[in-house]
Structure 1
Amino acid sequence: MGEQGRPTEPEISTNERIVCCIGDLHGHISKLQKLWSNLETVISPPSFQTALIIFLGDYCDKGPDTRSVIDFLISLPSRYPKQTHVFLSGNHDLGFAAFIGVLPPPPDGSTFAETWKGSEQYGEKVGWYKGAGYENMHLQGRLWGGPVDSNAASTFQSYGIPYGSTGLEKTKGVQEQLKLLRARDTSQPMIVALTGRSNVLDIPQELVDCPTPTMLVSGHHGKLELNGLRLIIDESGGKERKPLAAVVLPSMMVVRDIW
């Protein structure tokens, strides 16, 4: 594992394709711009131009300019047409998408209001969103738009509106969890792989023991931890004073928005 200082020349590329895993952005456009510039500096141009760039989710909330972050991400395919860009959803993005009504409908034909069942008492306590359009809003949208849950005020403000990827569970089968995620099953009130904490910190033993050991990479947890096949890349946790980090594979080089 290498941790970057100020480089004197770009990193020497290998025959293997470069993969950059970028942690939670949380509305910090200046951090994202600096980190991107630093990645371009430490990775040789041919390798960077064809890299696989994986954003680990949580693009919105906390920081001051979610709108500019999303605009930056949208621009990448046209600016870097030879790169491959993967944008994973985090729990904050799930809430944002639910609030503005862009989630796919539940595959079982149920309504989003069904996701509230069993949580109404909690909703009264924390203050679910009760404004226009709430009647058929997914639970995560009502939580996100409420006054407490996810620091969403800065996201509203970045669009000029005043405001009044965690991991996999260790104890459940990997394929079962991946099937749920790939299906985008919005009938579920909580998506543990997006919202969990201690129960998704460790890598499932199934991934360690399989014939081809599989790496599990996520953000979400507010720390940078590179532990064998389990990488957690969220050093900033959305905080301005802490660095935004990315990890370059296969070298395991850590690159930050600050030198």
Structure 2
Amino acid sequence: MSEPQKPRVVICVGDIHGFVTRLRNLWSNLEGSIDLSEFETATVIFLGDYCDRGPDTRHVIDFLVSLPSRYPRQKHVFLCGNHDLAFAAFLRLLPPPQNGSPFSEGWKEYEASEDREGWFNGEGYENMYLQGRRWSGTIKVKFNTAKGTDYQGSIYDARPTFESYGLPHASPGFSLFFSLPISFFFLVFGYCKSVFESWGSSLRADLVKAVPDEHKKFLADLVWVHEEISKLCGSPLVQQSLFRLLTDDDVFMNTDDGVKCCKLIAVHAGLEKGADVKEQLKLLKARDTRVPKVEALSGRKSVWDIPEELTASPTIVVSGHHAKLHVEGLRLIIDEGGGYKDRPVAAIVLPSMKIIRDTDVLAK
């Protein structure tokens, strides 16, 4: 009788947020913690948010785009995070709304926040996806009370991303523009307006030039959702002869009740508990930009739990985004770092359910 196959290794990597040294250290620890043959054939799912907050988005993307040639037997999945979506939007890499409407239709619902968030208003803003304007803007509030840290340029903390490509996010004069007394603003409105428009025009054009074509393609190709759907999960044959009939689509995880064969859905923030799952997946697979704020990429409480309709058959829902490490049943949230300077970048390895961090010190 032939030996039963081992279930394939699936690695889910949490938010990186521009910390390339942490990414390299994490990758090294993954390679050192997993059997070499299993690592070389693993499915590696990156859960999104490669840019912003940390200092080296450029080299993070360099590392990621190099993986398919360096590890040709691995399967690599690059999910789109809300920060990546906004970065891509500013570079105009997103598909247009499917109904032919302009991106500006999506601004209306959120216009009350435009002044406080300092939305981008320079060259090309007229037909820009909402999150691109928010990402590249200059927020007036300096301190983020929710995170307990200063904002880094915009509400998305995008300044380090600009700097990683050798550009300032905003000139000193533009920062001063927002701190001037209102009376002075009216006196010199014409001058300030011309400075602002000149700065805005060069801001986007300069970043478009600075971002390599390979990086643009990476951002344009990011998927909003990824599914691993086994044809065998739930089959009595699998339960009776575990691992003997495995296919490339099977995902397993260790549980208190033994090894479980599961479907897997990976999406940056999660799926809305109160919305139809099929409709959500349809929108995500189509990358439907009619929606100015995609809850599955940017939601919080609404996407924390697994939708009830997915409980009919074992379905892992794995995400990053939430600045937490949360493993409860089949709901996996792998974002221990959250872009904070003092937290590690983590990954989870299936089926073992082992958490690997960039800070781990492996035994020699």
Task: Decide which moves more: 106-115 or 67-76.
Answer: 106-115
Cα distance in 1 for partners of 2:63, 2:116 equals 37
Tell whether 2:274 aligns with 1:192.
Answer: no
Report the Cα offset of residue 126 of structure 1.
Answer: 1.6
The residue that corresponds to 1:68 in the other structure is 59
Cα distance in 1 for partners of 2:113, 2:59 equals 33
Q: Secondary structure at the match of 2:100?
A: coil
Residue 242 of structure 1 is aligned with which of 329, 343, 350?
A: 343
Alignment RMSD, CA only? Answer: 0.9
The residue that corresponds to 1:3 in the other structure is none
Q: Secondary structure at the match of 1:21?
A: strand
Q: Secondary structure at the match of 2:109?
A: coil
1:3-82 correspondence to structure 2 within 5 Å: 15-82=6-73
The residue that corresponds to 1:154 in the other structure is 160
Q: Secondary structure at the match of 2:280?
A: helix
Residue 323 of structure 2 is aligned with which of 222, 232, 241?
A: 222
Which residue type is aligned with residue 204 of structure 1? P
Residue 95 of structure 1 is aligned with which of 86, 104, 113?
A: 86
Report the Cα offset of residue 240 of structure 1.
Answer: 2.1
Q: Could you tell me the TM-score, scaled by structure 1's length?
A: 0.92
Report the Cα offset of residue 118 of structure 1.
Answer: 2.6
1:107-122 correspondence to structure 2 within 5 Å: 107-122=98-113
Q: Secondary structure at the match of 2:315?
A: coil
Tell whether 2:77 aligns with 1:86.
Answer: yes
The residue that corresponds to 2:307 in the other structure is 204
The residue that corresponds to 1:9 in the other structure is none
Q: Secondary structure at the match of 2:310?
A: helix
Report the Cα offset of residue 133 of structure 1.
Answer: 1.1
Which residue type is aligned with residue 122 of structure 2? G
Cα distance in 2 for partners of 1:177, 1:188 equals 12
Report the Cα offset of residue 119 of structure 1.
Answer: 2.0
The residue that corresponds to 2:264 in the other structure is none
Which residue type is aligned with residue 168 of structure 2? P
Which residue type is aligned with residue 291 of structure 2? Q
Cα distance in 2 for partners of 1:255, 1:147 equals 36
Q: Secondary structure at the match of 2:161?
A: helix
Cα distance in 1 for partners of 2:129, 2:39 equals 39
Report the Cα offset of residue 125 of structure 1.
Answer: 2.5
After the TM superposition, list the runs of 4 or more consecutive aligned residues in structure 1 that deviate by more than 3 angstroms. none
Which residue type is aligned with residue 182 of structure 1? K
Q: How many residues align?
A: 244
Cα distance in 2 for partners of 1:158, 1:103 equals 22
Pair member with larger Rg: 2
Which residue type is aligned with residue 162 of structure 1? P
Q: Secondary structure at the match of 1:108?
A: coil
Task: Decide which moves more: 160-169 or 116-125.
Answer: 116-125
Cα distance in 1 for partners of 2:16, 2:94 equals 21
The residue that corresponds to 1:255 in the other structure is 356
Which residue type is aligned with residue 36 of structure 1? W
Tell whether 2:187 aligns with 1:181.
Answer: no
Structure 2 unaligned regions, length at least 5 = 140-154, 171-267
Residue 275 of structure 2 is aligned with which of 169, 172, 185?
A: 172
The residue that corresponds to 2:124 in the other structure is 133
Percent identical across equivalent pairs? 59
Q: Secondary structure at the match of 1:215?
A: strand
Cα distance in 2 for partners of 1:118, 1:218 equals 27
